Amino acid sequence: MKILKNKTVACLAAACAISMQMASAQEVVMRIDDMGAFHSVNKACIDAYQNGIATSVEVLVVGPWFPEAVKMLKENPGLDAGVHLAITSEWENIKWRPLTDCPTLVDENGYFFPMLGPNPAYPGQSVFENMEKFDIAQIEKEFRAQIELALKHIPQLSHISGHMFSSCFNEQVTELTSRLAKEYDLALIDRMDASTKYNYSPINYAGAKATSQEKIESMAKALEQTKAGERYLFIDHPAYNDCEMESVMHIGYEDVAVDRQGVLDMLKSEKVRKVIDEKGIRLISIRQLTGK
């Protein structure tokens, strides 16, 4: 009887120690963006989840590869997902349009403007430069359509984010997305106050990031600097360096395929994983971060 009691006490003590260790561990969200934009991105996002450290993915429902993204997410129900609200379409060789009739949000060809703010390489082609026809009602209609399409097809949807800051670029839009998040019971993650609300700090590469190896070294260094008991959110965009992504560019960002292959390489890196294991970092999703 005494032996059983001692074993019970030992087990309880061990369980308590493990619980305390988990409570004090660093927690890091590894968020990846733009699923639905390209076939290459879709594949890379699932690869980064299945074979790497990605925990949450943002989905562009206006992207041409959204139907494939839906199929892949249903095959991977553990991958937390967010609707990536979009009112811009930045790439030169591929464009996307709104889901609704919103003439104040599109250019003369019916596509979203490429940029949110003014860019000298694309004069007159930003949302900000066309604010004289700004209509918050049309933005609400479009955002509702994007959220509802995502909810219809993605069972694991937990949050809202904004592509190129589309969810919070002025006071009216910030109020709108806050209201929509509450109405649809989704967390709103891309806001200046989100880090305070959900108690996390942004984390980025701690050094050069031009090549795959530089990304790996800089991410390992950044994770080494995380502190026990703190929570962090990382964001980047994986894809493959393939013929599809070689065609993707805009002026000022021409090495997209190489850059985004580097992101995928980092997310699958053994060196980065080793740092996570050695420091006892707990990888969590945005759903876990926000409690949604």
- Counting the structural domains of the chain, the total is 1
The reply to whether the predicted model has a pTM over 0.75 is yes
Sign of CA dihedral 102, 107, 111, 115: negative
In this prediction, residue 193 carries a pLDDT of 82
pLDDT tens digits, one per residue of 154-201: 999 999 999 999 999 999 999 999 999 999 999 999 877 899 999 999
Residue 10 lies in a domain: no
C-alpha–C-alpha distance, residues 7 and 14, integer Å? 10
Give mean pLDDT, residues 271-276. 98
Domain around 273 = 27-290
Q: How far is CA 39 from the centre of its chain?
A: 17
Lowest mean pLDDT, pick from 81-95, 178-192, 235-249: 178-192
In this prediction, residue 24 carries a pLDDT of 77
Residue 133 lies in a domain: yes
C-alpha–C-alpha distance, residues 241 and 258, integer Å? 5
Alpha helices in the chain (DSSP H): 2-24, 39-50, 66-75, 136-153, 171-183, 194-197, 212-224, 243-246, 256-267, 270-279, 286-290
Paired tokens of 284: 């969590």
Alpha helices in 51-170 (DSSP H): 66-75, 136-153
Residue 7 lies in a domain: no
pLDDT band at 23 (very low <50, low <70, confident <90, very high): low
pLDDT band at 10 (very low <50, low <70, confident <90, very high): very low
Residue 18 lies in a domain: no
| CATH number of the domain encompassing residue 58 | 3.20.20.370
Residue 212 lies in a domain: yes
Q: Side chain identity at 196, as an amino acid letter?
A: T
